[in-house]
Amino acid sequence: MTYRVPVADIAFTLDHIAGFSRLIDGGLFEDLDMDTARAILEEAARFANEELAPINRAGDTQGARLVDGKVVLPEGFTEAYAKWVEAGWGSFTAPKEHGGQGLPVSLGMAVAEMWHGANMAFGLNPLLTQAGVHALIAHGAHALQTQYLPKLISGEWTGSMQLTEPQAGSDLRSLKTRATPVGDGTYKLTGTKIFITYGEHPMTDNIIHLVLARLPDAPFGTRGISLFVVPKFIPNADGSLGERNDVVAAKLEHKLGIHGSPTCVMNFGDRGGATGWLVGEPNGGLKAMFTMMNEARLGVGIQGVGIGERAFQQALDYARDRRQGAAEGSAADASVAIIEHPDVARMLLNMKSKTSAARAIAYTTSVAIDISHRAADASERKRAANEAALLTPIAKAVSTDFGVETASEGIQVHGGMGFIEETGAAQHYRDARIAPIYEGTNGIQAIDLVTRKLPLAGGETFRDFLAGLKETAREVASSNDDGLGHTGECLWESITALEETGGWLTRQLAENRAAALAGATPFQRLFGFAAGGALLAKGALAATRGGESHGRNAEAVVLEARHFAESLMGETSGLKHAVTHAHETVARGGAVLGER
């Protein structure tokens, strides 16, 4: 099965759901127009289809390996990366002043969906490089910027994000890696980092590590963490590569999925200390880390979309070709493609509509980021930044949960063949499973959503977003479009549940914080269903009004929105109950279950 980028879905979602036209019409990206954007999408799609998708399977079966201290990548990965850099995809969204092309983040995320759908293990590398670029732009001294940014942006070098240590995962307070000032402006780093994606690889001459560590006098906790640049090779003044730095990959992890991506244990200071440079203020590492992390979180959400799409295509392809059983009411000896069986069609509709909903949420978040960067009006920028902040945990968590669920349902569509590795469906099920975990587990996202994002701007950000969802629900109700069936009522019920639980949680934050924390994950999922359902309905309204189709079938757009609303979104009733009642059992749950 060959993955094909769903360019029509991507362009339609950008244009009619995510609000990409606001960027174009507002001239936020100079003379960028929809035709150009569309041509870029087509070109990226060609690259993903022809260069990345074909090596996805080898990535899984061969995996990355550590041989004599060197990482060996699966066949084709290094060559594909060189072509990717050559084609300029690395510099896509980076600012022009640092050598980038200055294109919208939203277009960058659309293109990233293609890399991840085609080859999630490959796509991770640029995701992390870009996170490093953001940190350097926001917090790096001028000298560091000029030294590293051009090559990181072009992709000539890659970046890694080094946060986790064995005792410090979700909880960064207990980081132990130490950075000792040498006195010449540099620091010597010693310690061990784990789960470092592309911490070592042969794709590029140099790798620029962004590393969290503690200064000698640092206070306990997250206020004592600083961020450092630690290059694999220390660049000379003329830009050539100098001394090999004292940081090595000691081991690669043996993982459930994304085998093509090397996940390294990194040792700093086996030979006395790795040379690093401080990024930003001493003890200001957490802030710099969140700069790296926020877009990376959205990027991981996009992985959920990409892997969901790929699993859907794989299952659809199988269901169209595999013949089993007679259709209801047909001659007993007839046999039909299994897609004609209602239960199989239902599974495929689940997969497709969940993937579309996740895409709609993620792209909407990315357009908000663009507006927050570019709008002329400061208050508009601020509002958009808040909207992006509110939606980022949803985009990360709900998209990645949907990705796992979709990959699992994709196996089910295949029946027994789904369990056989050669079929390919199993790889998606394995690959998808990491996305709800890294860049902050989905549980951490939920806590972020409830404790920091709901209260943003005194709750106004949440209320504004709700108002938008309600407006869509009203438009659906007044459209009287038979094709949308009960979508309007279903939307209204879910949005009301979102509003009520949001209010309840906000009160609990003051009164009973543990209750808010117990309900955070069900709330996050409820939010995803309500937002996803409304955004799909927005697309359906646009499709029925006959706007530019971008090649999408209007009936399919409407059907997805309706199926999501009628068959999936009803879960919000149960989630509403879980949000407000989970604390009653959870309060004693740990103690009762935890007894040995």
The H or E element containing residue 572 is helix 571-594
- Binding part of the chain for a copy of itself, among 50-58, 175-183, 249-257, 354-362 by CB under 8 A, reads 249-257
- DSSP output for 38-49: HHHHHHHHHHII
- Binding part of the chain for a copy of itself, among 64-72, 101-109, 403-411, 533-541 by CB under 8 A, reads 403-411
Alpha-carbon distance 535 to 49, whole Å? 28
The β-bridge partners of 168 are 165
Of residues 203 through 232, those in contact with a copy of itself by CB under 8 A are: 220-221
Q: Is the separation of the CB atoms in 187 and 277 below 8 Å? A: yes
Binding of residue 595 to a copy of itself (CB under 8 A): yes
- Number of residues that make up the chain: 596
Of residues 114 through 143, those in contact with a copy of itself by CB under 8 A are: none
Q: Which two tokens stand for residue 556?
A: 């399919």
The β-bridge partners of 263 are 197
Q: Which two tokens stand for residue 361?
A: 């949420």
Is 50 among the residues known to form the active site? Answer: no
- Binding part of the chain for a copy of itself, among 300-308, 355-363, 374-382, 419-427 by CB under 8 A, reads 419-427
- Binding part of the chain for a copy of itself, among 5-13, 119-127, 372-380, 552-560 by CB under 8 A, reads 552-560
Q: Which two tokens stand for residue 157?
A: 């070098």
Q: Using the minimum distance from each CB to a copy of itself, give the nearer residue, 166 or 185.
A: 166
The H or E element containing residue 560 is helix 554-563
Of residues 452 through 491, those in contact with a copy of itself by CB under 8 A are: 485-486, 490
Binding-site member from 329, 379, 458, 478 for a copy of itself (CB under 8 A): 329
Q: Which two tokens stand for residue 212?
A: 């969290």
Binding of residue 408 to a copy of itself (CB under 8 A): yes
Binding of residue 434 to a copy of itself (CB under 8 A): yes
Q: Using the minimum distance from each CB to a copy of itself, give the nearer residue, 213 or 339.
A: 339
CB of 587 to a copy of itself, least distance (A): 8
Binding-site member from 36, 62, 78, 164 for a copy of itself (CB under 8 A): 164
Q: Using the minimum distance from each CB to a copy of itself, give the nearer residue, 72 or 407.
A: 407
Of residues 255 through 274, those in contact with a copy of itself by CB under 8 A are: 255-257
Binding of residue 375 to a copy of itself (CB under 8 A): no
Site string for a copy of itself, 507-546 (x = CB under 8 A): ------xx--xx-xxx------------------------
- Binding part of the chain for a copy of itself, among 35-43, 142-150, 332-340, 456-464 by CB under 8 A, reads 332-340
CB of 444 to a copy of itself, least distance (A): 8
Binding of residue 4 to a copy of itself (CB under 8 A): no
Residue 228 phi, psi dihedral angles, 5° rounding? -130, 150
Q: Would you put residue 523 in left (φ > 0), alpha (ψ -120 to 50) or beta?
A: alpha
Alpha-carbon distance 221 to 499, whole Å? 35
Closest by CA position to 250, among listed 74, 70, 124, 121: 70
Q: Which two tokens stand for residue 540?
A: 């359906």
Q: Which of 51, 165, 409, 439 is catalytic?
A: 439
Provide the CB-side half-sphere exposure for 332 (13 A, CA).
0
Binding of residue 576 to a copy of itself (CB under 8 A): yes
Q: Is the separation of the CB atoms in 212 and 189 below 8 Å? A: no
Which residues are catalytically annotated? 439
